[in-house]
Amino acid sequence: MSADPYNRKVRDSFAAPPHAGELAGGIDARVDAGDLRVEFAATLEDGRIAALRFRARGCPHVIAAAEWVCDYYEGKPAEALEVFPIARIMEDLAVPTEKTGRILVLEDAIQSLGRRLKH
């Protein structure tokens, strides 16, 4: 049997991502890249990201990565959005290298969100 293309984290995040959905009163940023669409929304409290939510249309790795990103940044200072931990995401979620470009779309969306939060 060939290896499962999705590890447990991807499967769990895909099936029931806790950070999926809209965020009332949040500041959002969105990137469309062909068939892939991703949107993040955040609220700040004392300069820290109080809540971060996503909505995404993409493959299971993209959805799982969006969930991973939300979980990672929540509680961190807004400036943390300037650094995107792509290597950790790729490793944690066992993202195939050919999907790197899709994860970089998430990076674009997060950095766009960081810029919007500054203003």
Partner 1 sequence: MPGKMIYLDYAASTPVDSRVLDRMREVAELNCANPSSTHAAGREAQAIIAEAAAQLAELLNVSPGSLIWTSGATESDNLAIAGGARHRTHRGKHLVTMKTEHKAVTDVFEALAKQGFDVTWVDAGADGLLCPDSFAAALRDDTQFASIMYVNNETGVIQDIEALGTICRERDVLFHVDAAQAVGKLPIDLGNLPVDLLSLTGHKFYGPKGIGALYIADRAGCHVEPILYGGGQQRSIRPGTLPTDLIAGLGMAAAVAATRIEPDLAHLRALRQLLWEGIRCVDGIRLNGDPGGFPGILNVSVEDIDGESLLLALEPLLVATGSACNSKTGEPSYVLRALGLGDDQAQSAIRFSLGRPTTRDEVEFAAARYRDAVAHLRKLAPDRAA
By CB under 8 A, name the binding residues for partner 1.
6, 11, 14, 17, 20, 30, 32, 35, 37-39, 55-60, 63
Minimum CB–partner distance for residue 58 and partner 1 (Å): 6
In the bound state with partner 1, the residue whose beta carbon lies nearer, of 57 and 118, is 57
At its nearest, how many Å lie between partner 1 and the CB of residue 77?
A: 26
Cβ proximity to partner 1, 22 vs 91, nearer residue? 22
Total number of residues shown for the chain: 119
